[in-house]
Amino acid sequence: MSVGQVLLAATPALPAVGAAVVALLPAAADRGARVVGTIFAAVTFLASLLLYADRHAPSGSPVPGSAPSGPVRPWHELDLAWVPGLDLRFHLGVDGLSYPLVVLTALLTLLCCGYTLWHVPGTPREGFAASGAGRGRTLVALLLVVEVGILGTFLALDLVLFFVFFEIVLLPMYAVIAGWGGTAEPAEADPEPGRTPGPAPADARRSTPQQAAARKFALYTLFGSVLLLVGVLTVVTAAGTADIVALTGGAGLGRGTQLTAFTLLALAFAVKSPLWPLHSWLPDAHTQAPTVGSVILAGVLLKMGTYGLIRVAVGVAPEGARWAAPVLGVLAVAAIVVGSLVCLAQDELKRLIAYSSVGHMGFVLLGIATLTATGIQAALIGNIAHGVITGLLFFLAGAVKDRTHTGALAELGGLRETAPRLAGLLGFAAVASLGLPGLAGFWGEAFAVVAALERGGAFWTVLGVLAATGGALTAAYLLRLLRRVTHGRPAPRVARLTPELAGAELAAWSPLVLLALAIGLVPALVLGIAGEPVRSLLEALP
């Protein structure tokens, strides 16, 4: 095995091993377990970074079938037999499409694990002491398992393997939302803020809001992934292979198969992305999820949908993609406009950011729907930018909620008077999110609109104009958010705050701030490596 192949195998294997080690540590060693988990996340991040090195060495493509002229040209490739009876091979590869997402996943998981060193969400209530010990350990183990699934999805070059990794994410994320979600303390629903949190009342019999949100997330996304299963197997049985490298370009698939497959796959990825009108699981999940869960969910989990759309749906069934592109474009623009309008009326901080994700992912999907080089490049950089900025926004929203125990915009206000640093960072993230030129959010949104206009014709021009209008609305609601949260006189809950930020918070946030700046100033960081795979992908389309 070459160095690249070792790294390729190590990238998803390290967090898997880490999760097992962390889970087996005794509950008493909670802090130690969190440290071990963070170390594993850090090593994974290093391994994912190193994938960039040595990428043009001839040892990178040892498989004779993958001639460098193909539509998918992985830098490194690892191809092992696993279940021949199901055409399932353990086939991993990394190229310019997946590399930025892989690094982003590893980075965000590392930041989240580091964040749990300082703060484990949902301090245990009295009355079930058993739930207190080992909570942080279990959370870190679950985050690492989620990382395995996401990394595997981005790295898989086998359709069935892609599906397997896609499914791995589901239940750990369910557990994170259900087990660590909700408000950290019952203060929100509590009329007297001074009361000590007592034993859980009789509502322990019924399912809590976070359980309901988690179940909605699990069932909705499973609905998507079973369609993915049928779509993937439709392709596999028709083509007789599950190799994404061989299948990209739609070789050997009839038009009928491609249309069926694309419909199923696009539906599956639309649930995950999420595309309006299949987005309704997202706001609930985000509102209830703990900070680290929201960061992973918005930062990289949604990208599995958009990445899958580019790599699998468009790659494998291009004729289907051409056929469905107008529908996809209309839905994407509807997502932008509807998401922005809903955001204008939102009164809850995390819910607002969650709905803003619907709008931002709408831009990404619009870029993909144009099926042009500009559009897909815009989608890729939009993916990364949204991951960085929304990750940061959720970290900040979590910090605000942890301090004030409320997310209601009406009860916030005047943040800059008592916590100027937090308010400043929130302002930065919001401005980045609304797409100010020079920050990361700009490129994806601007070029999605440009791609739609480039595509020409009345239809795409109208879509481009509408999307641009949606972009203006985005600015409106984010500025409204800032006005309500940071400006004005301090609300009672805000007045008690102190300006300090914990070192752990700064450590978790500063990489994201720097990345938002760096990608905004030098978009070539992402576009440079994505250019060539996008070109070859589009060349392969009929």
Partner 1 sequence: MNGGVQAVDNVALLPAYLAAGTAVLVLLADLVVARRGVTLAVAAAGAVATVVGAVLVGRGGPRGTFCAAAGCSYHWTGRAALVAALFGLLTLGVLALSAPLLRTGDVPPGEYCFLLACSMTGGVVLGAANDLITLVVALETLTLPLYVLVGLRRRSRSGAEAAVTFFVVSVVATSLTLLGAALLYAVTGAVHLDALGTALAGESALAHTPLATAAVALVLLGLAFKVAAVPFHAWAPATYDGAPLPVAAYLSTASKLGGVVALLAVVSAALPAEVTGPVLALLAVLTMTVGNLVALRQERMVRLLAWSSVAQAGYVIAPLGALAVAGGRTPEAVAAALAATVAYTVFYVVLELAAFGAVVVLRPAGADGGAIDRYRGLGRRHRFTGAALVLALVGLAGLPPGLAGLFAKVTVVRALLEGASTWLAVVVALNAVVGLAYYVRVAALLYAPSPTEPAAGIRPAWPAVAALGAVSVVALVVGFAPQLVLDVAAR
Residues of this chain that bind partner 1 (CB under 8 A)? 82-86, 125, 127-128, 130-131, 149, 160, 163-164, 167-168, 170-171, 174-175, 178-179, 199-200, 204-205, 211, 214-215, 218-219, 222-223, 226-227, 229-230, 233-234, 236-237, 260
Least Å from the CB of residue 216 to partner 1: 10
CB 335 within 8 A of CB 207: no
Least Å from the CB of residue 163 to partner 1: 8
Q: For residues 205-238, b (16+ Cβ closer than 10 Å) or e, as one string?
A: eeeeebbebbbbbbebbbebbebbbebbbbbbeb
Instruction: Tell me whether residue 204 or residue 495 sits nearer to partner 1 (CB atom).
Output: 204
Least Å from the CB of residue 34 to partner 1: 19
Q: Residues for the chain: how many in total? A: 542
Least Å from the CB of residue 21 to partner 1: 16
Least Å from the CB of residue 318 to partner 1: 21
Nearest to 213 by CA among 110, 147, 287: 287
Instruction: Tell me whether residue 52 or residue 223 sits nearer to partner 1 (CB atom).
Output: 223
Beta bridge partners of 89: 81
Instruction: Tell me whether residue 79 or residue 505 sits nearer to partner 1 (CB atom).
Output: 79
Least Å from the CB of residue 140 to partner 1: 16
Contacts with 265 (C-beta within 8 Å, 6 or more apart), sequence order = 227, 228, 231, 232, 308, 309, 312, 313, 316, 317
Least Å from the CB of residue 87 to partner 1: 8
**468-to-185, 292, 433, 441, 527 alpha-carbon distances in Å:** 41, 32, 15, 14, 22
User: Omega of the bond prior to 277 within 30 degrees of 0, cis?
Assistant: yes
Dihedral (Cα; 19, 23, 24, 28), 10-degree rounding: 140
Element (H, E) at 92: strand 88-94
Instruction: Tell me whether residue 226 or residue 334 sits nearer to partner 1 (CB atom).
Output: 226
Least Å from the CB of residue 266 to partner 1: 15
**216-to-62, 140, 213, 280, 423 alpha-carbon distances in Å:** 44, 23, 5, 9, 33
Least Å from the CB of residue 157 to partner 1: 18
Tokens of 338: 């509807």
Q: How far is residue 151's CA from residue 156's CA, in Å, rounded to a whole number? A: 8
Block residue for tokens 């694990």: 113
Instruction: Tell me whether residue 96 or residue 293 sits nearer to partner 1 (CB atom).
Output: 293
Tokens of 323: 């056929």
Q: For residues 294-305, b (16+ Cβ closer than 10 Å) or e, as one string?
A: bbbbbbbbbbbb
Instruction: Tell me whether residue 40 or residue 163 sits nearer to partner 1 (CB atom).
Output: 163
Instruction: Tell me whether residue 152 or residue 414 sits nearer to partner 1 (CB atom).
Output: 152
Block residue for tokens 């009672």: 492
Instruction: Indicate the burial class of 64 (C-beta count within 10 angstroms; 0-12, 13-18, 19 or more).
Output: exposed
Least Å from the CB of residue 214 to partner 1: 8
Q: Is 335 left (phi over 0), alpha (psi -120 to 50) or beta?
A: alpha
Instruction: Tell me whether residue 81 or residue 458 sits nearer to partner 1 (CB atom).
Output: 81
Instruction: Tell me whether residue 204 or residue 514 sits nearer to partner 1 (CB atom).
Output: 204
Q: How far is residue 37's CA from residue 24's CA, in Å, rounded to a whole number? A: 12
**415-to-140, 486, 495 alpha-carbon distances in Å:** 31, 4, 8
Instruction: Tell me whether residue 160 or residue 352 sits nearer to partner 1 (CB atom).
Output: 160
Instruction: Tell me whether residue 225 or residue 340 sits nearer to partner 1 (CB atom).
Output: 225
Least Å from the CB of residue 236 to partner 1: 7
Least Å from the CB of residue 388 to partner 1: 28
Instruction: Tell me whether residue 97 or residue 239 sits nearer to partner 1 (CB atom).
Output: 239
Nearest to 173 by CA among 212, 139, 134: 139
